[in-house]
Structure 1
Amino acid sequence: METVTLGPQGTYSHRAARAVTDDGISFAESVRGIADAVANGDADRGVVPIENSIEGSVTETLDTLATVDLAVVREVVTPIRHALIAQREDFDTVASHSQALAQCRSYLDEHYPDADRQAVASTARSVELAREDASVAGIAHPDNAANGDLQVVATDIQDRNSNATRFFVVAPPDERSEAGGKSSFVVYPNANYPGLLLELLEPFADRDVNLSRVESRPSGERLGDYLFHVDVDAGLYEQRTQAALDDIEAIASEGWVRRLGSYDVEHVV
């Protein structure tokens, strides 16, 4: 099974993708690149980050799921263990993905307040920079320091030990399933009036369906126009979920509702 995720090798996305397959993993430079590869048939599965417990939702993934027709077939949750990796203990710059830098903000403020912070494409790329330049330290999983001339200067430097990231495993739309303990949707009501969001959420509350995440994103159509990403703790096979969606589709009759699918959750280390 050909699986594509964010590269290069050694990213947290790569670690999550290894829960899908042990081989046949390729890399893309963006979430949209992953989505297009799956949609075009160049890959069987894509693994994309959807939410971090500290920094919140990954907006690039939200926007991609609203524009590219894909099925969510699985969720992988992996703990995030950030380490400071460098050739030596003194350096001038700390580089990593912007989210990793944000997740280690308190540690860096306390221990390296004078070091420059450089956002790069991935945590793995920051390790490459550290290997190329002794004045740069990277932030990544400690395993990235293996088999090289780098050392782990400090481990578990994330601001919270509960730090974890959710990844969606996406597939072509014809593989969308109604079976699973969770479901995700994108709702574009193409309307704006007092009480609209309440109307969209009430069908779930009326049927005792728990909402595990609700997030709004600009539709891109016009200023002040939004669509909504919704995760629920129920499968599409359940009558209560289907009934709630029927009500929501009626409310959003001037827009659309995308059923991303139902799926189960796997926790990996």
Structure 2
Amino acid sequence: MQMVTLGPSGTYSHRAARAVTDGDIAFTESVRGIVDAVADGRADRGVVPIENSIEGSVTETLDALAETDLAVLKEVVTPIQHALLAQQSGFDAVASHSQALAQCRRYLDEHHPDVDRRAVASTARGVELASENDRVAAIAHPDAGGDELNVLAEDVQDQTSNATRFFVVAPPEERSDAGGKSSFVVYPNANYPGLLLELLEPFADRGINLSRVESRPSGERLGDYLFHVDVAAGLYEDRTQAAIADVEALAENGWVRRLGSYDTAHVT
């Protein structure tokens, strides 16, 4: 089974992918590349970052899931332990994924305020740049530097509880109703006072906990939004099916995408 995730080898996405497959793992440098590879059949599975406990949702993933019909098969939660890696203690720039740089903002502001921060495609790409240039440091997992880079500082993330959620995505025909959590994308194609309350009430009325609700621009027009909703219930449950039926009726001029139900795997 071919799985694709953010590369190159050694990213946190790669760690998440290894936790759920023993098969081949291919790499791309964008979430859009992962989603497209699964959608057009070049890969059987994809692993995409969805949310970080410090920086919040990965908007590139939210938008890709809203634009492409895919199934979510599993959630993978992995702890994020950032280290500052470099060939030497003196450097002019630090390179990493934009999320990693943001997760270490406080450390960088305090210890390296004058160093240039370069956002690259992945933490592993930052390691590659630091390995090629002794004036560049990287932020990545402390094991990512191998024998080429020194660990100048560990646990440089702003919060010690830093963790990231990943979704394992597959073609839509593999969507399942089984699992302890479910995710949806709702586009009501409407805007009036109380709309969001009306969309959420069907879950509250049935005792379904909403674990995440987030709005994103629809791209259709300014001020028009769609909503990403995660609930702590499976689609196999009658109460979830009834709640979604109510939401679909409210969004009759738009659409509701059922990403699927899934369980959670934790990477240690």
Q: TM-score, normalised by structure 1?
A: 0.98
2:106/2:158 contact within 8 Å kept: yes
Q: 1:55 maps to what in 2?
A: 55
SS at match of 2:261: strand
Which consecutive unaligned segments of at least 5 residues does structure 1 have? none
User: Could you tell me how far apart the structure 1 residues matched to 2:148 and 2:235 are?
Assistant: 50
Q: 2:237 maps to what in 1?
A: 238
CA RMSD, 1 decimal: 0.7
AA of the residue aligned to 1:20: V
The Cα of 1:105 is off from its aligned counterpart by: 0.7
Q: 2:6 maps to what in 1?
A: 6
The Cα of 1:149 is off from its aligned counterpart by: 2.1
Any runs of at least 4 consecutive aligned residues in structure 1 with deviations exceeding 4 A, and if so which? none
The Cα of 1:119 is off from its aligned counterpart by: 1.0
Deviations 1:19-60 (A, max 9, x none): 121330001121111111111111110000000000000000
Q: 2:85 maps to what in 1?
A: 85
SS at match of 2:20: coil
Aligned length: 268
User: Could you tell me how far apart the structure 2 residues matched to 1:9 and 1:149 are?
Assistant: 15
User: Could you tell me how far apart the structure 2 residues matched to 1:90 and 1:34 are?
Assistant: 36
User: Could you tell me how far apart the structure 2 residues matched to 1:4 and 1:80 are?
Assistant: 20
2:29/2:122 contact within 8 Å kept: no
Taking the TM superposition and a 5 Å limit, the aligned residue runs for 1:196-215 are 196-215=195-214
Q: 1:157 maps to what in 2?
A: 156
User: Could you tell me how far apart the structure 1 residues matched to 2:23 and 2:112 are?
Assistant: 38
SS at match of 1:143: coil
Q: Is 113-122 or 51-60 further displaced after alignment?
A: 113-122
Taking the TM superposition and a 5 Å limit, the aligned residue runs for 1:1-269 are 1-146=1-146, 148-269=147-268
User: Could you tell me how far apart the structure 2 residues matched to 1:150 and 1:192 are?
Assistant: 53
User: Could you tell me how far apart the structure 2 residues matched to 1:174 and 1:217 are?
Assistant: 26
User: Could you tell me how far apart the structure 1 residues matched to 2:230 and 2:117 are?
Assistant: 34
User: Could you tell me how far apart the structure 2 residues matched to 1:25 and 1:232 are?
Assistant: 30
Deviations 1:226-250 (A, max 9, x none): 0000000000000100000010000
User: Could you tell me how far apart the structure 1 residues matched to 2:186 and 2:139 are?
Assistant: 36
Q: TM-score, normalised by structure 2?
A: 0.99
